[in-house]
Amino acid sequence: MSAARALDDADFDLGRVSDADGAAELARALYGEAFTPTPGVLHVTAIDGNTGRTLRIDERAPKSQADTFALNLTRARADAIIITGGILREEPALSYAPGAPGPESEALRAYRHHYGPSGPPLLVIMTRGAGLPLDHPVFHDGHTRPILYGPASGVLPLRQDTDAEVIGHTGDAHLGALLTLLRERGATTISVEAGPSTTRALYAGPVPLVDELCLSTYAGPALEEAQLVGDPLRVPPELALAEPEVLTRTASGPWRFGRYRRR
């Protein structure tokens, strides 16, 4: 495969595009295609290039407009998005508005309408129930359709406190079972945004559960331990780069962007 391509991180400022075609051009620049609907399980994540570990998302995390676009592009393609209750506790301002955490992007909204599924995506929150912040904006802002998924004993009592759909399980609750449930409900493109303790299940079996990995790699100076979480991410041999990586430079340092697909 040919060498990585270098682009300006500012090229991925969503404020510079205004319609679906503009967002599609950014998708082609970053990943080589505009993405007609593609069934499968997508994993989007950002890691530290020095250690392979996941970046902790907070005010100290390195910033990249291309990384923000990568995350939003995956959301725009998804029928369903999987996160955890821990993410809601750690990110009280988390939003699934097109363009978040930046200004709302009409271009991404139009992109989803043109290229992606109809209607807001399902937002499946894996939780045991205790301490779940039901006043979090994702339950009220209308950008997604929230579903609580967890042990029946923990989540079913929450039905009296939320309008979100609640699915309680009494048996096997691993990530694979949830993916099967979502497919049975008609979700064909499923994005997993959970942390490494949850997403490692995508790679743990003899055959990975993930069909596509959108990997943002911060390649700048070494980060402190507190800025990293989980074990190093190892890309399985079943996944291969679909296009040459893209390199960008930001104030915090260089980044690499690669999209891996099942061979």
Residue-averaged pLDDT of the chain: 95
What average pLDDT score do residues 92-103 get? 96
- Looking only at the bridges linking them, the beta strands covering 80-84 and 189-192 are parallel
What average pLDDT score do residues 53-72 get? 96
What average pLDDT score do residues 142-161 get? 97
pLDDT of amino acid 148: 98
- Is residue 189 scored above 70 in pLDDT? yes
Q: Which residue has the higher pLDDT, 128 or 37?
A: 128
Domains and CATH numbers, the chain: 5-262 (3.40.430.10)
pTM: 0.95
What average pLDDT score do residues 82-97 get? 96
User: Could you identify the residue written with the tokens 């070494």?
Assistant: 222
What average pLDDT score do residues 112-123 get? 94
Q: What angle do CA 50, 54, 56 make, to 5 degrees?
A: 110
- Is residue 2 scored above 70 in pLDDT? no
Task: Please give the single-letter amino acid code of residue 73.
Answer: L
What average pLDDT score do residues 146-167 get? 97
First vs last Cα of the chain: how many Å apart?
Answer: 14
Local confidence band at 35 (pLDDT 50, 70, 90 cut-offs)? confident
Local confidence band at 36 (pLDDT 50, 70, 90 cut-offs)? confident
Helix, coil or strand: residue 182: helix
- Is residue 79 scored above 90 in pLDDT? yes
CB 246 within 8 A of CB 4: yes
- Is residue 171 scored above 80 in pLDDT? no
What average pLDDT score do residues 234-251 get? 96
CB 76 within 8 A of CB 225: no
For residue 258, count other CB atoms closer than 10 A to its CB. Answer: 20
Distance CA 179, CA 76 (A): 18
- Please report which residue ranges of 51-174 form alpha helices under DSSP H: 65-77, 85-90, 106-115, 152-155
Distance CA 151, CA 153 (A): 5
- 179: tokens are 């993916």
For residue 210, count other CB atoms closer than 10 A to its CB. Answer: 23
For residue 98, count other CB atoms closer than 10 A to its CB. Answer: 22
